[in-house]
Amino acid sequence: MAVRLLVALLIFSFASFTYASDPDPLQDFCVGVKDDEAKVFVNGKICKDPNMVSANDFFFPGLNMPGNTSNPLGSKVTPVNVNQLPGLNTFGISLVRIDYAPYGLNPPHTHPRATEVLVVVEGTLFVGFVTSNPADPNVKNKLFTKILYPGDVFVFPEGLIHFQLNVGKTNAVVFAGLSSQNPGVITIANAVFGSDPPINLDVLTKAFQVDANVIKYLQSQFWWNID
């Protein structure tokens, strides 16, 4: 009996620690504001008066329409997250439609707050993701890749760098679900070489082990966001 009681107490203790942890962020940051200066800024979105809610708050039209892929990357993401569909607030889900021109690319990026599961509707895609840094410094980050066809499904784990490339000669279309109402997107090239203000030249030349002129060239490019 004493052993069972001890086990029950341990389970309760661990459960308490679990429930006491901070909630996952729903935006990039939530800086604390002094009480006397506070406005309505929350980790997520405040709730609309239930008496003012209508069916339109849970409705988003137009995902049958292809996105405009006339850009240097040849792809377009059409998001449906809490910013487009307010009824998603607090539900922890969202989705996107992604269109690709022939050989169009959704470049290496991460979703800091969501796992993504993708299904191909049209076309042929080369997709992949890279693991986080291994514990052993002598082991490289592992790349997982797959060729996808209509009806195929692939999952990209939360926070990991991933990409999709249309390897076909025709347009491609996918739909993807994400495990956050506001998944966030960090496009690697844009963030590293297109930030405002720019990252210090010394930081990037040492990080990438290249000549400063290479970094200057990359920073001078126009980095395109497709969402």
For the annotated binding site for oxalate, the residues are 106, 111, 116
Distance of CA 186 to the CA centre of its chain: 7
The DSSP H or E segment spanning 2 is helix 2-20
Give 119-174 as a DSSP string. Answer: EEEES-EEEEEEPPPPSSTTSPPPEEEEEE-TT-EEEE-TT-EEEEEE-SSS-EEE
Task: Please state the residue numbers annotated as binding site.
Answer: 106, 109, 111, 116, 162
Known binding-site positions for Mn(2+): 109, 111, 116, 162
By the 8 A CB rule, do 104 and 149 touch?
A: no
The span from the CA of 136 to the CA of 8, in Å, is 37
Q: How far is Cα 101 from Cα 109, in angstroms, rounded to an integer?
A: 19
φ, ψ of residue 62 to 5 degrees: the values are 105, 0
For the record, the structure tokens of 141 come out as: 């980050």
